Amino acid sequence: MNKKHILAEAKAIFFIILSVLLIKVTILEAYIVPTGSMENTIMTGDFLIGSRFVYGMRTPDWLGIPYTDIGFFIPYYKFPEFKIPKTGDVLIFKYPRDKYVKYVKRCVAGPGDTIRIDQKKLFVNSQEVPMWEHGKYLGPTIDKKYKQPDIYLSSNYNINRDNLGPIYIPKKDDVFTIHEETNWEYLLPLMLMEGNTATLENQQKVYEFTLQDPNEIFRRKGKESVFDEYFSEYNPNGKLITPWNSAFKNEHFKYLMINGQPASLLKEYRIKQNYYWAMGDNRDDSLDSRYWGFVPENNILGEALFAYFSLNLDTWSPRWERIGTIIK
């Protein structure tokens, strides 16, 4: 084989690899489902094909070594969408509290909607939304009086996964007034998701607000030392604080800084993007919006289309009947 043939084959291989990568980041991408949060719509061990262009193709926003955290985020461009997410769509998105992790959940409500859960029944704008065809519950209903501390907004309300709300889902151009009594547990995560910075600053110390949940980072990285960075009742020397930290009270408003300026100087805040409420079809075994809040529009990567393969992770045997299953 002469040098010209070798060069021609190398070019062909290069363009094949480039084409596959372009398809992967702009049109279609494969995903493996490791948990049962969407059963029986999507099974643990399903290999999914997701559409990346239906909600608007986007250029890569991360450069690094695949399947690792080694890399960095970069600015990206999003092309116009063919449709906007709607109730019932099965979304693929970046987990709002850890952008390295991708989730698959069902969109149950969108921007401008108000959701409420009463005795496991989901209501959107006061209308009951039936469980989807293959959805399910596993356990008994949690009593309304029981407060579940890891549920979104639970510090201000007696709510749990089966009794929650009402919660308004913000939409682009909504305006929130800013004052000492503002519900910062609600507003501050939105501001952080939209690229703002927030700190608590007094004469003794500076605390930086972050959306990254230390428990999620610990679970992903397996490094207990990550807890040393976070302020809590167990670690008063930590410098990071989450908007849901019970140590942050409204009386601390005078110490709150937004983008380096005192929050007291701000009169209002205008929302920059739309948000969605996503839940697993396996309601009693799903870490979803009930626990961590809204899905920002910019985090949505695509829509789940079908399973091209499925593997029983207990026996490592193929589920042939799942191949080609349309996700709906």
Predicted local distance difference test score (pLDDT) of residue 111: 97
Residue with the two structure tokens 């409204």: 250
Half-sphere exposure (CA, 13 Å, Cβ side) for 140? 3
Q: What is the pLDDT of residues 21-33, one digit of tens each?
A: 555 555 567 788 9
Nearest to 306 by CA among 35, 51, 37: 51
Q: Identity (one letter) of the amino acid at 184?
A: W
75-89, 102-116, 125-139, 305-319: the lowest-pLDDT one: 75-89
Distance CA 171, CA 175 (A): 9
Q: Is the pLDDT of residue 244 over 90?
A: no
Query: What DSSP line would sit under 62-117, residue for residue?
Result: EEE-TTSS-EEE----BPPPSS---TT-EEEEE-TT-TT-EEEEEEEE-TT-EEEE
* Strand pairing report for 240-241 and 206-209: parallel
> What CA–CA distances, in Å, run from 171 to 37, 112, 164, 175, 193?
26, 5, 20, 9, 13
Distance CA 266, CA 58 (A): 33
Check residues 90 and 241 and name the one with the higher pLDDT: 90
Please report, in angstroms and rounded to a whole number, the separation of the first and last CA atoms in the chain: 51
Q: What is the pLDDT of residues 187-225, one digit of tens each?
A: 999 999 999 999 988 767 888 888 887 766 666 555 555
Nearest to 114 by CA among 171, 176, 163, 169: 169
Q: Which residues pair with 91 in a beta bridge?
A: 105, 303
